Amino acid sequence: MIDIEQLRSEFPILATEVNGHPLTYFDNGATNQKPQSVIDALSGYYKGYNSNVHRGAHALADKATQAFEHTRELLKEFVNAPKTEQIIFTKGTTEGINLVANTYGRANLQAGDEVIVSTMEHHSNIVPWQIVAQEKGATVRNIPISDEGEIIFEEFEKMLSDKVKIVSIVHASNALGTVNPVERIIEKAHEIGAVVLIDGAQSAAHLPIDVQALNCDFFVTSAHKMFGPTGMGFLYGKEDILNDMPPFMGGGEMIKEVSFDGTTFNTLPYKFEAGTPNIADTVAYAKAIEFINRYGKENIAAREKELLDYATKKLIEEVPTAKIIGTSSNKVSVLSFIIENIHNYDIGMMLDARGIAVRTGHHCTQPLMARYGLEGTVRASFSVYNTFEEIDNFIEALKRIVKMFG
């Protein structure tokens, strides 16, 4: 059991006020708040040992390099990667997908080939594939989803053929909450020889991740959705595939030897880490992982599920004009809904007047919104530090809004 008061006290922002009300932060799907340890690690690096990594032969450089590589070790354990070198630092999920699309995708896609994504993908897992597919004469196809917001597995199976080279699927949907059956998807895709990328932006902090058990070829995520800093994340890849891939960007640590006759590239993971990396945020990322490990991902997930179930039940019972979008029985803590006759923007703004932060709009999933014939939804996404009282206030606020305008 988590001591919630104690956990909340680690997050300074949760004690602040917004518009004269205590902050209620239900926009965790977009990014979540940071514990003091992460915030301290950022300034600690700049105050105590700011230095470039892997270059200097002095004490500060050594300390910075050690802290930087420590994060890689922690991440290796966090996702159970076979080797540390398979963890490649990126700016986040979007950069991870772009890296794979531009290297693996560009090297392996040919005219007539197919990339399969799903209808519920974030734009970050659609557009990079479209760009490369267009260049190569390949096509990007999407798996249809049911009214409940689940991938229609039989349709996916029908799409599989030897033309399919890449399957890129979101682990948990940011707009619906649906957790996809990625193990089965990976297995089926491998049967026809395709490689599979898992977009773990919404799963890394909420679901157990074991890349070896999943047997995915690539896994990408963002630190800022796991209590860590923004502009930071990582890509995991299978070793042989990563070794075969051409580099993404050139310069800096990714080089072994350069001459004007030609350049040889560094080994993993440095081959894919061009330029001076985001050292401070990488170092602080370690504290975020330590935070998750300290409380235990199972405990965090269990609490989030309780919050989701409570909020879902209350919304259905007390706001009858609300319609939940995404009703899969297997969800992360995302409650997405619309309310009859009231625009989602207006709801968001009225909640904000009471200090309640939710996301409104299309959530960067326009094809998904089109699937439901919606312009957008209101999305409340919960994190471990949210409380049942906050949900009560949120439902009260919604009831007031409906009474005034529904």
Partner 1 sequence: MSVATKSIEEVQNDIIDDFDLLDGDRESTIFYIMELGQELPAIDETHMVDENLIKGCQSKVWLTTDFVDGHVIFNADSNTDITKGLISLLIRVLNGRTPLEIMNADLFFFEKIGMNGVIGSQRSNGFASMIKQMKFYALAYSAKN
Q: Which does residue 119 touch among partner 1, ligand PLP, none (CB within 5 to 8 A, set by kind)?
A: none
Q: Looking at beta carbons only, is 235 or 342 nearer to ligand PLP?
A: 235
The burial of 156, by beta-carbon neighbours within 10 Å (0-12 exposed, 13-18 middle, 19 or more buried), is given as buried
Q: Does 339 bind ligand PLP (CB under 6 A)?
A: no
CB of 61 to ligand PLP, least distance (A): 29
Q: Which does residue 124 touch among ligand PLP, partner 1, none (CB within 5 to 8 A, set by kind)?
A: ligand PLP
Alpha helices in 225-377 (DSSP H): 239-244, 279-295, 297-318, 344-353, 366-372
Q: Active site includes 364?
A: yes
The burial of 373, by beta-carbon neighbours within 10 Å (0-12 exposed, 13-18 middle, 19 or more buried), is given as exposed
Q: Which does residue 94 touch among ligand PLP, partner 1, none (CB within 5 to 8 A, set by kind)?
A: ligand PLP
Please choose, from the candidates 296, 309, 248, the residue with its C-alpha nearest in 3D space to the C-alpha of residue 104: 248
Stretch that binds partner 1, among 43-51, 100-108, 174-182, 340-348 (CB under 8 A): 340-348
Q: Does 142 bind ligand PLP (CB under 6 A)?
A: no
Site string for ligand PLP, 201-240 (x = CB under 6 A): xx-------------------x------------------
Which of 170, 279, 311, 380: binder of ligand PLP (CB under 6 A)?
A: 170
Q: Which does residue 170 touch among partner 1, ligand PLP, none (CB within 5 to 8 A, set by kind)?
A: ligand PLP
Concatenate the DSSP letters of all residues of 179-230 into one string: BP-HHHHHHHHHHTT-EEEEE-TTTTTTS---HHHHT-SEEEEEGGGTTS-S
| 218 contacts 195 by C-beta, under 8 angstroms | yes
CB of 28 to ligand PLP, least distance (A): 11
> d(Cα 50, Cα 76) in Å, to the nearest integer?
24
Sheet holding 195-199, edge to edge: 87-90, 233-237, 218-222, 195-199, 164-170, 114-118, 139-143
CB of 60 to ligand PLP, least distance (A): 30
Q: Does 321 bind partner 1 (CB under 8 A)?
A: no
Q: Looking at beta carbons only, is 64 or 132 nearer to ligand PLP?
A: 132
Q: Does 375 bind partner 1 (CB under 8 A)?
A: yes
Active centre residues (catalytic): 364
